Structure 1
């Protein structure tokens, strides 16, 4: 991870395991060797481990990497009857795994289910229940608007739901890909309480527009690229600087789904992420603190 301090606010950049192929231990080693000190983990990292859940948790602990967060709870809010009870059970399992890893944030994506209501008060009620389940475990819920979400597909709508729920451990997950896909104005961030942004995920992609929900989904799941590699660099810079100006002091994670990267050696992919982290710190946020494994920044602006 690239870690630095500016204006008394910690800025942290980490990788997501979804960007790398291979076993969990190899992914963690590649990230650590690249200089990262945190990792965004997913449920498959645990349940797909050949040694089982406990072995996966131990591997993360042994790596020394801090868990940025745990993902992803899907299609939770807006359901009723047996579907709601089913999803509550799934949420409890996700929270247990999140807690076992020592992660402090569980990512929940806006529902795509055709069975989910769009009633905002009901969505808020369900997310309030989720937050209350997470509270005894010391876990925060980061609610993210998927750009193909059925009722909530932009972060201002997600913020409306979070505000109505009014729970201290329920906040937003901001994902640059979804913002660029829906062309949501960054001015809308002015209406968000930065202390309620619990996670920021950064990625870019290689074309200007993704016009349909189907195209957004396909691009999101197969061809994102690291910050600085795509065609939305000006918007990404604007987003990061906007969050910095608002006082966001939480983690940044590179959520980069890319089928090409899954065919590349782990050190090569981790080095691409490292270059993105250095670019964001040196050229965008102008940070200047020595980093692990010779990741050293320039002093002052270029």
Structure 2
């Protein structure tokens, strides 16, 4: 378990909220006081100097890597489609390992070619987890709110339990819970030790009326926790997770087209305000003593 020095260490940023090159993203996140970062594959493979240089930038940043995202549409396929996705998964696991990422995020399949048999999905996810074992990586399985078979964390949890692999656990995403209006009472039924990642975001309207609007909101209009209209539900989610014993990482996964047009420090400071609200007012984490401060002033 990572030693915590105040609320800020509980939270990290996803690079997807920030525009610009990888180095600038890492600098903005660190300057805002964060100590961890959630990386996406495009950050690494899209770096002009190549993958090795990107990995070195991350290591030199001093930021701890929360996890690596995202493997899509892996489970439930057969024949050559399954073989193709296994190759993709192996490559992503290797990149995650190079970065020192402890977790690979896998989202529930949206493919019409995928089986809807829960046991088949569990079997494939167990295979994915076994591929990750030699690299020391955990797999967090997240239910996309527009997933074909698995669209809620409750069903994702059922699949994880059926797969029964020690390094396969659950990824929780507040956006998808809000979008499907899944009861937060179900959080109380989870095993905190099998929750490997929690990603947080909100949005600006009370309800989502269609799958198309759900996808558009998810990809373009998320906001940081405390900025949207579901602050009470996000706070309740975090409180419930804490109550069942979750002590892992929270990362802000905020896809927002407007944020992509703002200076990076401004966006990172918005994220920091969310961390401060959740840490001090919701989780009521103590602020560290001056000699142990990890929060840095923006440069």
TM-score bin (small chain): over 0.9
The answer to whether structure 1 residue 178 and structure 2 residue 176 are counterparts is yes
Q: Hey, what's the Cα distance between the residues in 2 that align with 1:286 and 1:125? A: 40
Q: How does 1:93-172 map to 2 (within 5 A)?
A: 93-172=91-170
SS in structure 1 opposite 2:10? strand
What are the residue-to-residue correspondences of 1:77-88 with 2, within 5 Å? 77-88=75-86
Q: List alignment gaps of at least 5 residues for structure 1.
A: 296-302
Paired with 1:193 and 1:281, the residues of 2 have a C-alpha distance of 22
Rounded Cα–Cα distance in structure 1 between residues aligned with 2:211 and 2:251: 24
Cα distance in 1 for residues equivalent to 2:296 and 2:101 = 27
SS at match of 1:292: coil
Unmatched 5+ stretches in structure 2: none
Please state whether the residue corresponding to 2:256 is helix, strand or coil: coil
| C-alpha distance in structure 2 between counterparts of 1:131 and 1:243, whole Å | 24
Q: Which has the higher strand share?
A: 1
User: Which residue among 249, 252, 264 is the counterpart of 2:250?
Assistant: 252
Give 1:5 deviation, angstroms: 5.7
* Rounded Cα–Cα distance in structure 1 between residues aligned with 2:118 and 2:296: 49
Give the alignment partner of residue 35 of structure 2, picking from 27, 34, 37.
37
How far apart, in 2, do the equivalents of 1:213 and 1:100 lie? 36
Contact 2:9 2:34 (8 Å CA) reproduced: no
Cα 1:5/1:269, change in 2 over 3 Å: closer
**TM-score (normalised: structure 1):** 0.94
Q: Deviations over 1:25-69 (max 9, x none)?
A: 000000000000100000000010000100100000010101000
Alignment correspondent of 2:55: 57
TM-score by length of 2: 0.95
Q: 1-side partners of 2:266 and 2:9: how far apart?
A: 24
Two-structure CA RMSD over aligned residues (Å): 1.3
Q: Write the deviation string for residues 156-196 of structure 1: whole angstroms up to 9, x where unpaired.
A: 00000000000000000000000000000011112211100
1:298 matched to which residue of 2? none
Task: Kindly provide the CA deviation profile for residues 256-284 of structure 1, in whole angstroms up to 9, marking residues without a partner as x.
Answer: 00000000000000000011101111111
